[in-house]
């Protein structure tokens, strides 16, 4: 449930906890509502993870009990301490029919870039119109993402049944499936985006002389890469052989953009040499990818005696302390494979396509399924877990080598993990050391843009409709009190003016639910941009 339904919905919203009257109550009502709209196929997959009949029965029992007057067995606490110091500024943008996955305001490594500048959204399946907000003039507008191949699939082709909100209208019309946005050091905005049908060009496939294709040929990719330059208004496209999902820049001279795949099926992690691409426009020469291979024969190099894992990154983050790359893979459920979710450490070597080796780590007993990843400036990894924890992993604490026959188990460094329980109740009958709370992703505030301190991890806790920070080992739970239904997938932080204290810096995020019409306002409700700040005390101005 956490890595399926809660990825896209606020389960506590009015639209989720009540079944439309025309669908009827109980099992039949849920069976019908989960066929509504263009996410019908995704909902079928999510139900399949859990076992469709059992999932529908549980959901039906939940809403039937609510309809009969039952209230939650646990009450949320009121804001305490610094939680009362939060200031939220909100703007409507995009349209009620579209939704956002996330957005970007600045460069990850230089939060003063694009000061007071536009905020760019990533509308995923809903549209090719990239929503943009000018927060100074309070002006929302759109930039059209070009689709270079006319045969690129469209959301209008997705199967659907009529919706209780929109009827027979297919409200999504996107081709580009823009999942994530990231800003480079020059202010260009890079997107994981679809630019063509899935079958790959020949240079990606078996028989190609491309260095990476010789090692791990790729027959198809679901998304590729695009880049928009606000200074010129021009777009370029990188035709990647590997599928793309989340993306972050490395710290090398080539401005390497590292990209995750989302699901595990490709078995590779990819990168784009953005310096070379911007100079030449050559997609083939500018990209590479590597399989995830663990040194299980323990000889320190990649060879036939090692173990190749069928997995790929969901979250990804180049290390700020060296030239390695960290990521995490999805576990049973989202990954649709009978294997755990890993935290993975890739050591690229001199020629990553043939030299990269990986270390893998699984959370300790009682915790499982990482989703999203980031790192502090000194190299500590943070990730939220589906077991209801936020976890840190410090590679420096590992007592022994992380290669050899047992390395692929991921269990060689339990001492590297520290778990922090998310606030909130636990599902009845489960270990109280965990929580029913859930986070979609996590971001580390390396530059203290929010005001809780440098290197504070902040989870997008859409299980509780909040931002959840770990400060000195304790949870700070930041809730947007109105309107209800706050659901976000990723944040970033920007410093607009370092000379004006708390007013000159902020965390930026936006609506991440696919169904903003489930919240207050219904079909008149638009996605929102949120500017989140912490002032010195609740009454400071």
Question: 5: closest CA among 386, 327, 457, 390?
Answer: 386
* Average pLDDT value for residue range 489-514: 97
Which tens digit of pLDDT belongs to each residue from 106-146?
A: 999 999 999 999 999 999 999 999 999 999 999 999 999 99
- For the record, the structure tokens of 462 come out as 């859409």
Residue with tokens 């399924």: 369
What secondary structure does DSSP assign to 427-480, as a single string? Answer: PTTS-TTS-S---S-EEEETT-SSSS-TTEEEEEETTTTEEEEEETTEEEEEE-
* DSSP type of residue 526: P
Q: Is 344 helix (H, G, I), strand (E, B) or coil?
A: strand
* Average pLDDT value for residue range 200-226: 98
At 332 the pLDDT is: 67
* Average pLDDT value for residue range 70-95: 94
* Average pLDDT value for residue range 318-342: 85
Mean pLDDT of the chain: 95
Does residue 266 register a pLDDT over 70? yes
Q: Report whether 527 contacts 98 (CB < 8 A).
A: yes
* Average pLDDT value for residue range 368-382: 97
Write out the H or E segment, with its range, that includes residue 528: strand 528-534
Distances, alpha carbon 1 to alpha carbons 73, 130, 285, 334, in Å = 20, 29, 41, 9
Which tens digit of pLDDT belongs to each residue from 218-247?
A: 999 999 999 999 999 999 999 999 999 999
At 4 the pLDDT is: 78
Does residue 335 register a pLDDT over 60? no
The pTM of this model reads 0.97
* Average pLDDT value for residue range 168-187: 98
Q: Is 539 helix (H, G, I), strand (E, B) or coil?
A: coil
333 pLDDT band, cuts 50/70/90, is low
Does residue 415 register a pLDDT over 60? yes
Distances, alpha carbon 457 to alpha carbons 314, 318, 423, in Å = 18, 16, 15
Does residue 5 register a pLDDT over 90? no
Give the CA-trace dihedral at 230, 529, 502, 500, to 10 degrees.
40
CA distance 450 to 478: 11
The count of C-alpha atoms lying within 13 angstroms of the C-alpha of 522, restricted to the half-sphere facing its C-beta, is 6
At 337 the pLDDT is: 60
* Average pLDDT value for residue range 32-48: 93
* Average pLDDT value for residue range 531-536: 98
- Phi, psi angle pair for 169, to nearest 5°: -70, 125
* Average pLDDT value for residue range 13-40: 94
Does residue 353 register a pLDDT over 60? yes
90 pLDDT band, cuts 50/70/90, is very high
On the question of a cis peptide bond just before residue 483, with omega within 30 degrees of 0, the verdict is yes
Percent of the chain with pLDDT over 70: 99
446 pLDDT band, cuts 50/70/90, is very high
* Average pLDDT value for residue range 4-26: 90
Residue with tokens 């590297």: 416
Q: Report whether 283 contacts 277 (CB < 8 A).
A: yes
Q: Report whether 289 contacts 270 (CB < 8 A).
A: yes
Which of 209-213, 265-269, 416-420, 473-477 has the weakest average pLDDT? 265-269
Q: Is 495 helix (H, G, I), strand (E, B) or coil?
A: strand
* Domains of the chain, start order: 184-416 (2.120.10)
448 pLDDT band, cuts 50/70/90, is very high
Residue with tokens 């188990």: 409
77 pLDDT band, cuts 50/70/90, is confident
Give the distance, in angstroms, between the CA of residue 537 and the centroid of all CA atoms in the same chain.
32
CA distance 262 to 445: 23
The CA-CA-CA angle for residues 412, 413, 417, to 5°, reads 150
- For the record, the structure tokens of 353 come out as 């396509």
Question: 174: closest CA among 191, 157, 197?
Answer: 157
CA distance 52 to 54: 6
């Amino acid at each position: 449930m956490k890595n399926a339904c809660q990825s896209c919905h606020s389960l506590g919203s009015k639209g989720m906890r009540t079944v439309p009257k025309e669908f009827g109550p109980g099992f039949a009502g849920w069976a019908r509502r989960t066929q509504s709209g263009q996410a019908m196929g995704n909902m079928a997959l999510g139900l399949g993870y859990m076992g469709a009949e059992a999932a529908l029965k549980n959901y039906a029992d939940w809403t039937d009990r609510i309809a009969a007057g039952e209230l939650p067995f646990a009450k949320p606490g009121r804001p305490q301490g610094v939680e009362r110091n939060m200031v939220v500024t909100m703007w409507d943008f995009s349209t009620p029919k579209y939704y956002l996955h996330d957005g970007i305001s600045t460069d990850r490594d230089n939060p003063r870039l694009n000061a007071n500048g536009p905020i760019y959204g990533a509308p995923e399946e809903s549209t090719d119109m990239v929503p943009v907000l000018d927060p100074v003039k309070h002006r929302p507008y759109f930039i059209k993402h070009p689709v270079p191949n006319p045969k690129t699939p469209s959301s209008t082709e997705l199967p659907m049944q009529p919706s209780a909100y929109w009827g027979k209208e297919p409200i999504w019309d996107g081709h580009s499936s823009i999942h994530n946005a990231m800003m480079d050091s020059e202010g260009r905005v890079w997107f994981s985006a679809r630019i063509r049908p899935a079958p790959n060009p020949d240079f990606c496939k078996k028989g190609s002389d491309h260095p990476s294709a010789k090692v791990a040929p790729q027959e198809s990719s679901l998304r590729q890469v695009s880049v928009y330059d606000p200074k010129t208004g021009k777009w370029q496209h990188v035709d990647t052989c590997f599928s793309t999902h989340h993306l972050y820049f490395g710290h090398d001279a080539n401005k390497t953009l590292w990209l995750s795949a989302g699901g595990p099926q490709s078995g590779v992690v990819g990168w784009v040499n953005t310096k070379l691409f911007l100079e030449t426009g050559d997609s083939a020469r500018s990209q590479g990818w590597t399989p995830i291979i663990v040194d299980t024969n323990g000889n320190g190099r990649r060879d036939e005696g090692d173990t190749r894992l069928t997995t790929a990154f969901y979250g990804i983050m180049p290390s700020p302390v060296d030239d390695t790359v960290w990521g995490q893979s999805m576990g049973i459920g989202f990954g649709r494979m009978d294997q755990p979710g890993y935290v993975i450490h890739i050591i690229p070597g001199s020629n990553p396509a043939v030299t990269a080796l990986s270390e893998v780590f699984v959370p300790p007993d009682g915790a499982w399924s990482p989703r999203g990843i980031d790192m502090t400036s000194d190299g500590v990894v943070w990730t939220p877990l589906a077991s209801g924890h936020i976890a840190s992993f410090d590679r420096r604490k590992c007592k022994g080598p992380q290669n050899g026959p047992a390395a692929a188990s991921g269990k060689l460094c339990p001492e590297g993990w520290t778990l922090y329980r998310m606030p909130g109740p636990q599902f009845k009958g489960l270990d109280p050391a965990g929580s029913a709370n859930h986070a979609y992703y996590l971001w580390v505030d390396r530059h203290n843009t929010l005001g809780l301190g440098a290197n504070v991890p902040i989870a997008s806790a859409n299980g509780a409709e909040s931002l959840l920070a770990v400060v000195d080992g304790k949870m700070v739970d930041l809730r947007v009190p109105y309107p209800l239904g706050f659901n976000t997938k990723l944040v970033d932080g920007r410093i607009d003016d370092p000379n004006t204290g708390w007013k000159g810096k902020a965390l930026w995020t936006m609506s991440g639910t696919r169904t903003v019409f489930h919240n207050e306002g219904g079909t008149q409700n638009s996605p929102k941009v949120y500017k989140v700040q912490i002032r010195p005390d609740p009454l400071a101005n």
